[in-house]
Amino acid sequence: MEGLREIDPHELVATSQHPFVRHQVDPDDTVLVLSLGDALVVDGNRNRTGPSDGRPSLWCLGPPADLARLAHLAVDRVDPPGRVSVQAASYDGLPETWRFPTEGHWHWMLTHDQPPAHPLEGSVVEVDDAAAIDALLDVANPGSFARPGSRGVECWLGVPGPDGLLSVGALYRDPSGAGHLRSVTTRPDAAGRGLGTAVSAALTRRALGRSGTATLGVYVDNAPALAVYDRLGFRTVVTFRSGRAPGRG
């Protein structure tokens, strides 16, 4: 069918040269991989942020021409998706039924390098007080992708203060074992003191210590966070636009 191929997910992860595929795609949680030219459609994101609702959750990767052809062929092979994340430059080529309103425009970033030492990193400790973490996230990051008890979170690191946490962040393990920084959050009245940078540096160091790779996702319009991650050595590998089917959770 015009060069369309189905690939075994384990083969994909074992042979791909794309860092995002190698680190983020879990072959044991991947239902279908379709390929055409340099493009991929991967139904392999269903359980990443919590229990699956049973609907496909798609990663769509590749240059516009190849991905447009692949997606229009794949639409008859894939049940209606609940979520789609597409390489941003290729968004306009998606079939109308997959082109959901963008809820997130974000960079996936990676580093293999130890971050520069931060003067406040010594204040960062492991945090196991779920109530304190939730209290900070409720105030400063209510839409956080990670919460205490979230699937795949290895630990929370943070900076305690006299009346609660000042800053906190989670370390999630990617399917490859790479450490993924999530939900780095600083209390508004403690902003501007470098605490988020210190937590991010400590999380990055923890990630690299086990796997040699640290990854993260950050919105393209979050200039302060992008400046922090640039200083810590992260570089953008791929930029996505993500959305959910209208009227669905």
Higher local confidence (pLDDT), 29 or 115: 115
pLDDT for residue 112: 98
How does pLDDT run across 93-113, given as a tens digit for each residue? 999 999 999 999 999 999 999
CA distance linking residue 187 with residue 11, whole number of Å: 44
Rounded to the nearest 5 percent, the helix, strand and coil shares of the chain are: 30, 30, 40
Residue 247 has pLDDT above 80, yes or no: no
Q: Regarding predicted confidence, which is higher, 67 or 145?
A: 67
Q: Reply yes or no on whether the pLDDT at 2 is more than 70.
A: no
Instruction: Check if the beta carbon of residue 81 is closer than 8 Å to that of residue 242.
Output: no
DSSP string, 131-176: HHHHHHHHHH-TT-S--TT-TTEEEEEEEEETTEEEEEEEEEE-TT
Asked if 229 and 220 touch (Cβ cutoff 8 Å), the reply is: no
Burial of 80 (0-12, 13-18, 19+ CB in 10 A): exposed
Q: Is 50 exceeded by the pLDDT of residue 249?
A: no
pLDDT per position as a tens digit, 124-182 = 999 999 999 999 999 999 988 899 999 889 999 999 999 999 999 999 999 899 999 99
Give yes or no for residue 248 having a pLDDT over 60: no
Instruction: Output the six-digit token pair for 196.
Output: 């988020």
DSSP codes joined into one string, 45-113: -TTTTS---SS-EEEEES-HHHHHHHHHHHTTTSPPPSEEEEEGGGGGGS-GGG-PPPSEEEEEEEE-S
Report pLDDT digits (tens) over 191-246: 999 999 999 999 999 999 999 999 999 999 999 999 999 999 999 999 999 999 98
pLDDT tens by residue, 16-66: 999 999 999 999 989 999 999 999 999 987 776 555 577 899 999 999 999
Query: Does the CA dihedral 112-226-190-141 come out positive or negative?
Result: negative
Handedness of CA 71, 72, 75, 77 (dihedral sign): negative
DSSP conformational letter for 177: S
